Amino acid sequence: MKNKIVFFDIDGTLLDDQKRIPASTKLAIKELQERQVPIAIATGRAPFMFHYLLEELKINGFVSFNGQYVCYENQSIYENPLEEKFLHELVLRSKEHDHPMVFLNTETGRTTHNSHPYVQKSMDDLKLVHPEHDPEFYRGRSIYQALLYCEKGEKETLYRNMYNDFNFIRWHQYSMDVLPKRGSKAIGIGKMIAHLGYHQEDVIAFGDGLNDLEMLEFAGTGIAMGNGKKAAKQSADFVTRAVDDDGILHGLRKIGLIK
């Protein structure tokens, strides 16, 4: 199978529940590289959260912040930060309800609360540290993604109904990603393949979460992980095994990219 490019989500796809890369995944990626198949990451994470993965797996391209910042060989291809005036309105409303926020740029993250159990839990689950406190961090900077902390229910609906300039995607029991309304991994992937000279039908994408739906639908071949959300499986062309059951290796073999 020639002229293909493969995009991998991180959490629940490249990484298992313990945030480890399965040995079979490492072998599969190595074989792709030996076959000179281009590989990139497509994640909701900020770049500073996965530099170690790029180095360990020798990957030189990524779509980050769910499509808002795209980079290939250390060259920025596409940037789509949140508009500060709309973000400011959201910050004011979140303060009214005492809902923490985290602001993310390419280098770091800062939070509106000095210490909050919801933020701590989500960061613990990612094996990251609680961001430092700086409630004004979003002013005068390019913020590519924010995290809004509230549980499912009435308050979540309030935000979704009130802010037409944002897309809210739940990624954690306590947190939602805040993205530009038309932002998605699919758009970011489109920017990268246009830069590299590939076409939509050349794209193979692996994902598991709600932020992967557009990517899996956009890809010429969308592959959902066996551990993925129901909606991800419905958006994919087929479902491979779970991440900790050789899911990447099995999926790549099934489509004939590796032996």
Whether 5-79+183-254 shares its CATH topology with 84-180 is answered: no
Name residue 204's beta-bridge partners.
Answer: 6, 221
Structure tokens given for 225: 């992980």
Q: Where are the alpha helices (DSSP H) in the chain?
A: 23-34, 51-57, 84-96, 117-125, 154-162, 185-196, 213-218, 230-235, 247-254
Q: Burial code of 35-45, b = ≥16 C-beta within 10 A, e = fewer?
A: eebbbbbbbbb
Asked if 138 and 146 touch (Cβ cutoff 8 Å), the reply is: yes
pLDDT for position 47: 98
Hey, what amino acid is at 54?
Answer: L
Name which of 145, 206, 138 is nearest 178 in CA terms: 145
Looking at the domain 5-79+183-254, which fold is it?
Answer: Rossmann fold (3.40.50)
| No. of helices (H) and no. of strands (E), the chain | 9, 14
* 32: confidence class by pLDDT, cuts 50, 70, 90: very high
142-177 tens-digit pLDDT: 999 999 999 988 789 989 999 988 999 999 999 999
**CA pair distance 117, 51, nearest whole angstrom:** 26
Average of pLDDT values for 67-73?
A: 97
Sign of CA pseudo-dihedral 87, 166, 90, 99: negative
- Catalytic site residues? 9
Q: In the predicted model, is pLDDT for residue 1 greater than 60? A: no
What are the structural domain ranges in the chain?
5-79+183-254, 84-180
Closest by CA position to 192, among listed 93, 109, 47, 73: 73
| CA 172 to centroid of chain Cα atoms | 13
Q: Is 214 exposed, middle or buried (0-12, 13-18, 19+ CB in 10 A)?
A: buried
Distance CA 40, CA 5 (A): 8
**Dihedral over alpha carbons 119, 14, 42, 30 (to 10 degrees):** 150
Q: Tell which CATH classification among 3.30.1240.10, 3.30.930.10, 3.30.70.330, 3.50.50.60 matches the domain 84-180.
A: 3.30.1240.10
The pLDDT tens digits for 90-120 are 999 999 999 999 999 999 999 999 999 999 9
How open is the CA angle 138-114-95, to the nearest 5 degrees?
Answer: 60
Residues 181-186 have a mean pLDDT of: 91
Q: Is the pLDDT confidence value at 227 over 70? A: yes
Q: How do 109-111 and 132-133 pair as beta strands?
A: parallel
